[in-house]
């Protein structure tokens, strides 16, 4: 079904055996190229520039000076990102230590991008020096306050750190993240190997962004430019996945499963009788994402059919919620075993990809805790799942942490010596999935 430049396709086996309650479907959502206001990014195309705002948050703690290339490359990367900001887009730069302060504009406002403001921002960034501690919650809070003063619909931040959040409590950071939810999205990057993957993943997940490692500071500029280029391509803000179910039916889970695994189940907000909304963030032209939706229904008789769920893509507008696309999840009860026992290949694929991400994270945590038996079992299972699903990128990362004895059975040996950067790359990228073919 095509509406407002989006397609919503549903893949499932709708046939259930007598008495069955569980209905599962993969919902593929794709935004069109150049349709319904989703033109490609550029100075004269796409979203109105005044509808977009960007903040770059740079760690300037003392550890960024060791080695000096970290702070130097961070300055260069910020300049590279500033160069990508489109004319007319609001932007600012924040520095963070155990405090947070505006670097550009220095009064805590946001500047409208043009040649002059970009040059002034890069000059201000060039004066950044390292010193002090790390309190990421304060950095996020200043970004939230800055964004809140402007009506831009598309609000995005880039956050860079090289260390752990040592100068505020975990509770303070968690509170700051909660305050920022729904205000802006945030892509997080850790440079070097002295930061906590779990810490940054918590932030990026809550703020609908990405997390990754940049092991060598020399890679920061290209990464920052790519992130900003992606942000400049976003056209539709605050898109929600709305799931309606009939009476006596319950949504069991809603998970994004491609391009990354992200469990949205706990982020449901009621949106009407029998309906709830799940955040998907902003979309650009030509983007495609897959979602796994699970519903529990009251069984009907053999031969009967019911609508188990209606999945809609909605965006807020001055007139209310605009439906951008819609798909239906159905259930038909049958006594034909050949029909009811057939597993939809896309459902099976993404169930395995979610298990793969969990196995990697659990295995790495067990390894960190010294539980070699659990680590070997979990990472071995991950090797087998990566092989079965054709997730070659993850398989390559796993091979740097374990020696693979038998890829089919997932028989592995833990490596005694593993580079911190390799282990952290596997952790940060564990949620990236191989796309299932239709």
CA–CA gap between residue 354 and residue 257 (Å, rounded): 7
Ordered DSSP codes for 67-107 = STHHHHHHHHHHHHHHHHSPTT-EEEEEEESSSEEEEESTT
Pairing of strands 6-11, 22-31: antiparallel
Query: What's the pLDDT score for residue 4?
Result: 62
Pairing of strands 185-191, 211-214: parallel
Question: What are the residues facing 402 on neighbouring strands?
Answer: 414
Go through the domains of the chain in sequence order and give each one's CATH number: 2-34+237-256+267-342 (2.60.40.3670), 49-232 (3.40.50.410), 346-428 (1.20.120.1690)
Ordered DSSP codes for 407-429 = TTTTEEEE-S---HHHHHHHHHT
Peptide bond connecting 255 to the previous residue in cis, omega within 30 degrees of 0: no
At how many degrees (to 10) do helices 136-148 and 197-206 cross?
20
Question: What are the residues facing 53 on neighbouring strands?
Answer: 90, 155
> Which of 25, 18, 5 is CA-nearest to residue 328?
25
- Ordered per-residue pLDDT tens for the chain, 438 residues: 334 689 999 999 999 999 999 999 999 999 988 544 444 333 333 445 569 999 999 999 999 999 999 999 999 999 999 999 999 999 999 999 999 999 999 999 999 999 999 999 999 999 999 999 999 999 999 999 999 999 999 999 999 999 999 999 999 999 999 999 999 999 999 999 999 999 999 999 999 999 999 999 999 999 999 999 999 999 999 899 999 999 999 999 999 999 999 999 999 999 999 999 999 999 999 999 999 999 999 999 999 999 999 999 999 877 778 999 999 999 999 999 999 999 999 999 999 999 999 999 999 999 999 999 999 999 999 999 999 999 999 999 999 999 999 999 999 999 999 999 999 999 999 999 999 987
Residue 176, H or E segment: helix 170-180
Query: What's the pLDDT score for residue 34?
Result: 54
CA–CA gap between residue 346 and residue 96 (Å, rounded): 43
Ordered DSSP codes for 380-414 = HHHHHHHHHHT-HHHHHHHTTTEEEEETTTTEEEE
Query: What's the pLDDT score for residue 321?
Result: 83
């Amino acid at each position: 079904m095509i509406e407002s430049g989006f397609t919503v396709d549903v893949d499932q086996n709708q046939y259930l055996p007598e008495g069955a309650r569980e209905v599962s479907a993969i919902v593929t959502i794709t935004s069109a190229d150049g349709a319904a206001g989703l033109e490609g990014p550029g100075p004269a195309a796409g979203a109105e520039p005044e509808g977009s705002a960007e903040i770059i948050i740079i760690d300037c703690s003392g550890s960024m000076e060791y080695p000096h290339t970290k702070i130097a490359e961070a300055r260069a990367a910020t300049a590279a990102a500033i160069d990508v900001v489109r004319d007319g887009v609001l932007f600012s730069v924040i520095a963070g230590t155990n405090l947070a302060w505006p670097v550009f504009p220095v009064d805590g406002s946001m500047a409208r991008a043009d040649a002059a403001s970009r040059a002034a921002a890069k000059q201000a960034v060039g004066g950044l020096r390292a010193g002090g501690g790390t309190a990421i919650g304060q950095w996020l809070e200043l970004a939230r306050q800055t964004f809140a003063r402007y009506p831009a619909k598309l609000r995005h931040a880039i956050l860079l750190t090289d260390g752990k959040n040592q100068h505020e409590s975990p509770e303070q950071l968690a509170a700051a993240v909660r305050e920022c939810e729904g205000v802006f999205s945030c892509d997080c990057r850790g440079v070097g190997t002295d930061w906590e993957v779990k810490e940054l993943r918590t932030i990026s997940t809550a703020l609908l962004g990405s997390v990754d490692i940049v092991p060598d500071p020399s890679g920061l500029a290209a990464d920052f430019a790519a992130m900003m280029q992606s942000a400049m391509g976003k056209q539709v803000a605050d898109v929600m996945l709305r799931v309606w179910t009939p009476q006596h039916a319950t949504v069991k889970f809603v998970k994004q499963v491609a391009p990354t695994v992200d469990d949205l189940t706990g982020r449901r907000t009621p949106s009407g009788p029998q309906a709830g909304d799940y955040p998907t963030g902003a979309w650009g032209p030509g983007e495609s994402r897959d979602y796994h939706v699970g519903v529990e229904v009251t069984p009907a008789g053999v031969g009967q059919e019911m609508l188990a769920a209606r999945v809609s893509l909605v965006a807020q507008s001055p007139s209310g919620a605009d439906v951008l696309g819609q798909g239906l999840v159905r259930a038909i009860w049958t006594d034909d075993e050949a029909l009811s026992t057939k597993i939809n290949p896309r459902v099976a694929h993404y169930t395995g990809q979610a298990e793969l991400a969990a196995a990697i994270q659990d295995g790495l945590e067990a390894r960190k805790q010294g539980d070699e038996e659990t680590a070997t079992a979990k990472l071995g299972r991950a090797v087998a799942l990566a092989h079965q699903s054709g997730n070659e990128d993850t398989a390559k990362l796993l091979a740097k942490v374990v020696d693979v004895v038998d890829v089919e059975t997932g028989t592995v040996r833990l490596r005694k010596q593993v580079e911190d950067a390799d282990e952290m790359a596997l952790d940060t990228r564990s949620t990236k999935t191989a796309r299932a073919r239709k």
